[in-house]
């Protein structure tokens, strides 16, 4: 009996939804692009998606009964930059191994603006080491080594890395639930990786190593501290140069440095890491923010409430936070034989206030808002100034409403959120709709209803958004709004979350039209997120030069000589009586010295008072933005301040 099976010698491939073409068996992804794209476009392609999966250009196209679909990944795309930076991380690792023979490699992922590699070395790296590594990387790039993908069985890979003494790679492989693993070879260097990568090291045309830090292996403080080298890479040197300029500007705006220079806040070991001390200047700004927040919430029909800082741990077990976030909660304390913890969230407290009375459908929606300080345990390695702390104040609110009110209420919250952000000068943002995670509570019907309500509200407001699959919280889906500062950096602040879980766990009801109990729907929302984080964003957004309404000192009065002390004091008192946050500097210092100090403090206005001004009953204003202004009376100057706006626009 003869074998009637026909061996296929061709495969069908197409670009996107285009017409398929035939290619011989054994063709690679790049072979396909050579047939499907103009020659001028080939140089920009660094990888591809094949059937929705990212692959190397050298990947073989397997013969299939269906048409294979490929799409190019270009060097100027977001995905292309990831491929470039991933390859640069491998080049850095190769350079490190060449220079430091006993170094052990851990992980080397890409991050938002670059990449890093964690390395175990005997002595911490220095800036001089960075220069050596960068020079060696340039040699590897010049060698233009091909990156070749290899696949080994899990056991073979373990044996390979064990023989090389790469204990961290062994641990990673042991944790993988796979039969085979992929590796990439460039010259005599081999690294564990799933790819994809550039075709050769020579295609990394613009890179820079930027900093060194310590990092515990797998973020575990009980494990060894490794050396982390950060770097970045771009498609061309122009883009790299622009990025490095942004980094320099970011250093100038670092809220930790400015916080010290402007005497805004401090964090000390004596108090404890992640716990913020607000200095007088910072507290003035915080108070201005809080008062604006309170006034606007009253105007938007919120009831302001206050709740304790500790509660029985049973409350958090009932809410589910204990099960889902226990590693982020502080350890319980004994109070009269019962366990209490410092509160990590405000929501259960607000629920108890809601439940203190019977509620009717006529009462809904009920909106509770609180500037509530909460406490969460963050590992010391991730604490970062005001941006990642252990004690912070949330501009928290919880809204109790019916299903029929959900879409309209979310739209109102969206409008309110954007209004608040714009008042602080944030006019650009990215919006994400985060859907059901793998670990969740509640019914699928409730999740679907909540996700649809969030989606409809966004579309009802005409707001562009991206879906972030699986990034919802355990109790419900959410909308996250990431603000963009003047450097184009994104900051996670605002969130709107729908919750069916807590109303069910705490039996939170209202009486419907029939007088029957019906479960409420609950919205969690924060407009600024935490005051600490938001304040850090504001410092960096404005580089410490706050707008007039936020500036801790709005006007600095400077005398020229002791002869004008009395007149300068009168000007100062007139400003204070008008509600202007003013300071008087009548020290026996030169005027130039005092002006320089005022500039360094980034005060919006300085008012100079000399003999001429005192004789004429005038002041000589200097603007932070415009320099010297025309002489005016003090009343006219105050009028000009009011016209400019001593409150948010």
On whether both 172 and 312 belong to a single domain, the answer is no
Domain containing 630 equals: 555-644
On whether both 297 and 313 belong to a single domain, the answer is no
Whether a cis peptide bond, with omega within 30° of 0, leads into 365 is: yes
On whether both 132 and 16 belong to a single domain, the answer is no
For residue range 468-514, what is the model confidence (pLDDT) as tens digits?
998 888 888 999 999 988 888 888 889 999 988 899 999 999 999 99
Mean pLDDT, range 635-642, rounded to an integer = 94
On whether both 159 and 225 belong to a single domain, the answer is yes
For residue range 233-292, what is the model confidence (pLDDT) as tens digits?
998 999 999 999 988 998 999 999 999 999 999 999 999 999 999 999 999 999 999 999
CA angle 476, 342, 280 (to 5 degrees): 105
Q: Give the model's confidence band at 5: pLDDT under 50 very low, under 70 low, under 90 confident, else very high.
A: very low
Report d(CA 26, CA 56) in Å as an integer.
15
CATH number at residue 570: 3.40.50.800
On whether both 237 and 117 belong to a single domain, the answer is yes
**What is the per-residue pLDDT for 66?**
84
Question: Does 262 map to a domain?
Answer: no
**Residue 135 scores a pLDDT above 80:** yes
Report d(CA 159, CA 151) in Å as an integer.
14
Beta strands (DSSP E) in 161-224 are: 180-186, 189-192, 206-216
**What is the per-residue pLDDT for 501?**
85
Report d(CA 97, CA 89) in Å as an integer.
12
**Residue 647 scores a pLDDT above 70:** no
**What is the per-residue pLDDT for 646?**
64
For residue range 208-247, what is the model confidence (pLDDT) as tens digits?
999 999 988 988 878 999 999 999 999 899 999 999 998 8
Q: What are the tokens at 134?
A: 């960068």
Mean pLDDT of all residues in the chain? 92
**What is the per-residue pLDDT for 598?**
95
- Residue 502 CB-density burial (10 A; 0-12 exposed, 13-18 middle, 19+ buried): buried
For residue range 313-333, what is the model confidence (pLDDT) as tens digits?
999 999 888 887 888 899 999
Q: Give the model's confidence band at 383: pLDDT under 50 very low, under 70 low, under 90 confident, else very high.
A: confident
On whether both 397 and 531 belong to a single domain, the answer is yes
For residue range 26-78, what is the model confidence (pLDDT) as tens digits?
899 999 999 999 998 999 999 999 988 999 999 999 878 788 999 999 998 99
On whether both 109 and 215 belong to a single domain, the answer is yes
For residue range 511-528, what is the model confidence (pLDDT) as tens digits?
999 999 999 999 999 999
- Name the domain count of the chain: 5
Element containing residue 85 per DSSP (H, E): helix 78-99
On whether both 527 and 446 belong to a single domain, the answer is yes
Question: Does 358 map to a domain?
Answer: yes
CATH number at residue 59: 3.10.20.30
On whether both 105 and 170 belong to a single domain, the answer is yes
For residue range 573-593, what is the model confidence (pLDDT) as tens digits?
999 999 999 999 999 899 999
Positive or negative, the CA dihedral 489, 492, 495, 501 is positive
Phi, psi of 156, deg, nearest 5: -65, -40
Catalytic residue numbers read 347, 376, 394, 396, 398, 478, 524
């Amino acid at each position: 009996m003869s074998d009637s099976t026909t061996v296929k010698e061709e495969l069908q491939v197409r670009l996107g939804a285009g017409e398929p073409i035939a290619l011989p068996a054994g063709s690679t992804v790049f072979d396909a692009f050579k047939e499907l794209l103009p020659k001028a476009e080939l140089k920009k392609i660094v990888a591809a998606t094949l059937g929705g999966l990212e692959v190397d250009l050298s990947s073989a196209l397997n013969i299939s009964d269906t048409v294979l679909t490929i799409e190019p990944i270009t060097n100027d795309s977001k995905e292309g930059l990831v491929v470039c930076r991933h390859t640069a991380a491998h080049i850095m690792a190769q350079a490190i191994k060449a220079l430091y023979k006993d170094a052990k490699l851990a992980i080397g992922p890409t991050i938002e603006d670059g990449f890093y590699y964690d390395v175990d070395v005997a002595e911490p790296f220095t800036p001089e080491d960075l220069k050596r590594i960068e020079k060696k990387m340039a040699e590897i790039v010049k060698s233009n080594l091909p990156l070749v993908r290899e696949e080994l069985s899990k056991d073979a890979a373990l044996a390979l890395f064990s023989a090389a003494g790469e204990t961290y790679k062994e641990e990673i492989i042991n944790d993988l639930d796979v039969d085979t693993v992929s590796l990439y070879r460039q010259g005599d260097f081999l690294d564990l990786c799933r790819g994809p990568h550039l075709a050769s090291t020579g295609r990394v045309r613009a890179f820079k190593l930027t900093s060194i830090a310590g990092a515990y292996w797998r973020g575990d403080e009980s494990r060894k501290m490794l050396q982390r080298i950060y770097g970045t890479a771009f498609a061309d040197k122009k883009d790299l140069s622009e990025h490095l300029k942004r980094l320099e500007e970011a250093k100038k705006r670092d809220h930790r440095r400015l916080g010290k220079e402007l005497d805004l806040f401090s964090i000390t070991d004596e108090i404890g890491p992640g716990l913020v001390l607000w200095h007088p200047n910072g507290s003035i700004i915080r108070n201005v923010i809080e008062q604006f927040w309170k006034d606007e919430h009253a105007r938007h029909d919120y009831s302001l409430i206050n709740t304790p800082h500790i509660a029985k741990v049973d409350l958090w077990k009932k809410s589910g936070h204990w099960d889902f976030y226990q590693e982020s909660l502080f350890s319980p304390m004994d109070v009269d034989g019962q366990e209490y913890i410092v509160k990590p969230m405000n929501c259960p407290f607000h629920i108890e206030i809601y439940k203190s009375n019977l509620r009717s459908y006529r009462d809904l929606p009920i909106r509770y808002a609180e500037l509530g300080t909460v406490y969460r345990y963050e590992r010391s390695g991730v604490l970062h100034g005001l941006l990642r702390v252990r004690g912070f104040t949330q501009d928290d609110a919880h809204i109790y409403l019916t299903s029929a009110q959900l879409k309209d209420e979310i739209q109102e919250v969206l409008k309110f959120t954007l209004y608040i952000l714009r008042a602080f000068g944030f006019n650009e943002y990215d919006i994400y709709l985060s859907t059901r995670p793998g670990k969740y509570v509640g019914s699928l019907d409730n999740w679907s209803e909540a996700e649809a309500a969030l989606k409809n509200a966004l579309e009802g407001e005409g707001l562009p958004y991206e879906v972030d699959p699986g990034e919802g919280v355990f109790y419900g889906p959410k909308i996250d709004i990431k603000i963009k500062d003047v450097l184009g950096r994104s900051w996670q602040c605002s969130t709107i979350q729908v919750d069916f879980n807590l109303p069910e766990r705490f039996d939170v009801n209202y009486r419907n039209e029939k007088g029957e109990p019906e479960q409420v729907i609950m919205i969690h929302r924060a407009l600024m997120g935490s005051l600490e984080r938001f304040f850090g964003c504001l410092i960096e957004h404005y580089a410490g030069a706050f707008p007039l309404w936020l500036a801790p000192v709005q006007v600095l009065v400077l005398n020229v000589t002791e002869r004008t002390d009395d007149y300068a004091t009168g000007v100062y008192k007139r400003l204070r009586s008008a509600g202007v946050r003013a300071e008087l500097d009548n020290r026996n210092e030169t005027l130039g010295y005092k002006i320089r100090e005022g500039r360094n403090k980034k005060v919006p206005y300085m008012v100079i008072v000399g003999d001429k001004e005192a004789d004429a009953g005038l002041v000589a204003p200097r603007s932070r933005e415009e320099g010297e202004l025309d002489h005016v009376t003090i009343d006219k100057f105050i009028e000009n301040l009011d016209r400019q706006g001593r409150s948010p626009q």
